[in-house]
Structure 1
Amino acid sequence: MSHSHPIHQANENSPYGDLTREQFYKKHQILHQQTFMLNKKNMKIFTQSWRPDSSTHLKGLVAMVHGYASDSGWLFELTAVAIAKAGFLVFALDLQGHGCSDGTPGHIPKIQYIVRDCITFFDSMKAKNPKLPSFLYGESLGGAISVLICLEQKYEWDGLILSGSMCGISPKFKPIWPLEKLLPVAALFAPSWKTVASKPVASKSYKEEWKRRLVARNPNRRTSGKPPAATAMEFLRVCEYIKMHCHELEVPFIMLHGEDDTVCDYESARFVYKSALSEDKTLKIFSGMWHILVGETEENVEIVFGNVLSWMEERAAKAKTRTK
C-alpha cells in the first residue's frame, strides 16, 4: 500500500500548496480537531488531532512530539496527516513556549513540565480509545521527550519512533569548551541570554532550500532556534540523563537518523540503540541525509516515511492480535 507524503504538494509559501487548510483536509479525507487544555500551572496548551474521515477501523493511535523552534502544525503536521491517511488517529500538542501554547518563546528551563503536559494529553486521548495500540513519534527534541515519556511509562506504549532524535548534541553544535563551563552560571543569572554557540537550526536542518523558506514563513513560529542559556543547559542535562538511563528502555522502537545530521549526533542515537534493553529495535542511518528528514528530496522522504509506516503497521497488527 503506497502512501505518498503530503510534503510533495507543499510549496515555499504554504504546507497546503495552493489549497486552504480546509480544502487540504477535505482532499486528504482527514477529520481535524483542535482545542486548548489547561496544564497544572494553568497555562493554555494547544492540542490537535487528525483521523481518517472514513468508517475504516483505526489501526492505532500515534502521539507526536515536535522539535525545538517547531510546533505541531505547519510542516510537522504534514507527517501527522500522512500517518492519519494510513489509518491511524494522530494527535499532538504545542510544547510550552512554542506555537499557540502559553510560555516564553523557546524557554524550556525544566523538561519535566513538558513531559508532564505530554503525558496528561496523551493519556486523555488513549483513555478514549483504550483498545487501540499506541505509538509515540518524536522528532529532534521531541525524540528526547518521547524517550523520557517511555522511561516513565514503561509498558504503556506499543512502539516508539525516533526521527533525528536529540540523544546527544553534535560536537559541531555544542557550545565551545569555556562556554559549556560557563553555561550553568549564565543559566542562573541570565536565563534568557541567547547562547552564541548555536547557529539558527533551520539552515542546518532542512536540506531542500525551499523547505527552509517554508519553515521561515510559519505564522506560529516564535523562535528561530537559538536557545536561551537556561534551555541550552537543560538540553545538555537531558542528553546526559538519556545516556545514563537509555539501557532501561524496553519498548519496541525504530530510530531514523541522517548521517549528515549536524544538529543531533547520530553516534548518540547509535549509543541509545545499543544500550536499550528492547528486544525489538531498529536503527536506520541514512547516508547523506540531514537533521529533519522531511526536509530531504521527494525520493528520500518516501524512503524514510515508507520505513516508518511499514514499521508501525506491522507492530499495530501484532499488538491487535495480542489483545484479542
Structure 2
Amino acid sequence: MDPGVDGIIYKEEFINSSRGLTLFTCRWLPEKKEPKALVFLCHGYAMECSISMRDTGTRLAKAGYAVHGIDYEGHGKSSGLQGYIPSFKNLVDDCSEHFTSVCERSENKKKARYLLGESMGGAVVLLLHRREPPYWNGAVLVAPMCKIRSNPYCYKGRPRLKTAHEVLMVSLDIEKNLSQVSLPFLVVHGGDDIVTDPSVSRLLYETASSEDKTLKLYPGMWHALTSGEPPANIDLVFADIVAWLDGRTATEGSRSEMEPKSKHDEQQLFHAQAKQFPIGSL
C-alpha cells in the first residue's frame, strides 16, 4: 500500500473469483477527501492496470475520483495462461463481479459509477453496459475496439487461435449492436489510429441510442492516447476526460440530492391531502 504520494493513496489486493481464479485488483483514492464518484478501469489486450494504466488512475484520483482496476484472466498479475482469453464472457463476468462488489459497499452505494475502457477494454465496457444498462452512469471509451482495423495486440509473439477468435467475434458483435448503447458516453480516438478504427467510433456516436454522447477525434494522434503521445497531447486528452466526468458527476449529485427532497415533498402532500379528505369522508 502506498501511504499517500501527491495526495493519492494506492492499494493492491488479490481476490478470488467465483470461477476459482486469483485476480489482481488495484485502486487509487484521493487521500484526504471523499471521492466524487467511482471510475472502473478496463485495460487493453496484453496490458494490465497497475503499470500501463497507472497514469490514468493517478490523474483521475487527483481529480477527485476513486479509481478501481482489475487484471483480466491471463493478464498482468492475475492467474491464467498469459495472454490467453478462453472466453470473453468469462472475462466480462469477472469484471462485473468485482466492480459490482465495490459499488455495493455501504460507502459507495450513493456514488455515481463510471466505466473507462481502453482499446479492447472499450469492448469490455460496452458488454458490461449491455448486461445491466441502467446500472452505470456513464462510460469513457479510449480508442475502443468496436472493430479491428489491423493488429490490435501489443505483446510478444502471435495470439493464440482461441484468443484471436474470441476478440474477433466480440468486435463483430459490438459493431452489429452499436444501436443498443444507451448510456451517456465520451469517445476519444486518435485520427491516425491504425489499431482500432476511428471511423467506427464515429459510427458508434451516430448510431447509439444515448441522448448524452460526445465524440472527440484528435487529428494526428495515434492509438495510445493516454500513454504514447507527447505530454501536451496526453494532457489535452485527460483534460477532456476529467471535464466530461465532472460535468456528469455534478448532474448526478444534484439528482441524488433532489430524490430525498422529492420523496419528502410527496409525503408532505400526502399528509396534507389526508387531513383535507379523511378516509371516512370518501
**TM-score grouping bracket, smaller chain normalisation:** 0.7 to 0.9
1:163 counterpart residue number = 142
* Matched letter for residue 50 of structure 1: W
Map 1:188-267 onto structure 2 (within 5 A). Answer: 198=151, 201-202=153-154, 223-224=155-156, 226-267=158-199
1:46 counterpart residue number = 24
2:131 counterpart residue number = 152
* Matched letter for residue 167 of structure 1: C
2:7 counterpart residue number = 29
Matched, 1:91 2:64: no
Does the 8 Å contact 2:14/2:25 carry over to 1? yes
CA shift, 1:34, in A, is 1.3
Query: Which entry has the higher C-alpha Rg, 1 or 2?
Result: 2
Does the 8 Å contact 1:68/1:225 carry over to 2? no
Deviations 1:254-278 (A, max 9, x none): 0000011111111111121111100
* Matched letter for residue 305 of structure 1: F
* Matched letter for residue 281 of structure 1: K
- After TM superposition, the score normalised by the length of structure 1 is 0.76
Distance 1:67 1:79 in 2: 13
Distance 2:4 2:25 in 1: 20
Match of 1:296 among 215, 229, 239: 229
Give 3-state SS (helix, strand or coil) of 1:238's partner: helix
CA shift, 1:133, in A, is 0.5
* Matched letter for residue 322 of structure 1: R
Does the 8 Å contact 1:70/1:99 carry over to 2? yes
1:217 counterpart residue number = none
Residues 1:226 and 1:287: Cα distance change in structure 2 (over 3 Å): farther
Matched, 1:309 2:242: yes
2:42 counterpart residue number = 65
- After TM superposition, the score normalised by the length of structure 2 is 0.87
Does the 8 Å contact 2:4/2:10 carry over to 1? no
* Matched letter for residue 135 of structure 1: Y
1:273 counterpart residue number = 205
Larger RCO of the pair (alpha carbons < 8 Å, separation 6+) = 1
Distance 2:71 2:201 in 1: 24
Match of 1:112 among 76, 83, 89: 89
Distance 2:16 2:34 in 1: 31
Matched, 1:136 2:110: no
Give 3-state SS (helix, strand or coil) of 2:122's partner: helix
Distance 1:241 1:75 in 2: 27
Q: CA RMSD in A?
A: 1.5
Give 3-state SS (helix, strand or coil) of 1:293's partner: coil
How many residue pairs get aligned? The number is: 254
CA shift, 1:48, in A, is 0.9
Provide structure 1 residue ranges, at least 5 long, that are not aligned to the other structure.
1-20, 174-197, 203-222
Distance 2:181 2:52 in 1: 29
* Matched letter for residue 94 of structure 2: D
* Matched letter for residue 44 of structure 1: T
* Matched letter for residue 209 of structure 2: L
Does the 8 Å contact 2:180/2:208 carry over to 1? yes
CA shift, 1:134, in A, is 0.8
Residues 1:270 and 1:83: Cα distance change in structure 2 (over 3 Å): same
1:11 counterpart residue number = none
Provide structure 2 residue ranges, at least 5 long, that are not aligned to the other structure.
258-282
Distance 1:300 1:35 in 2: 32
1:214 counterpart residue number = none
Does the 8 Å contact 1:260/1:290 carry over to 2? yes
2:274 counterpart residue number = none
Match of 1:318 among 234, 238, 251: 251
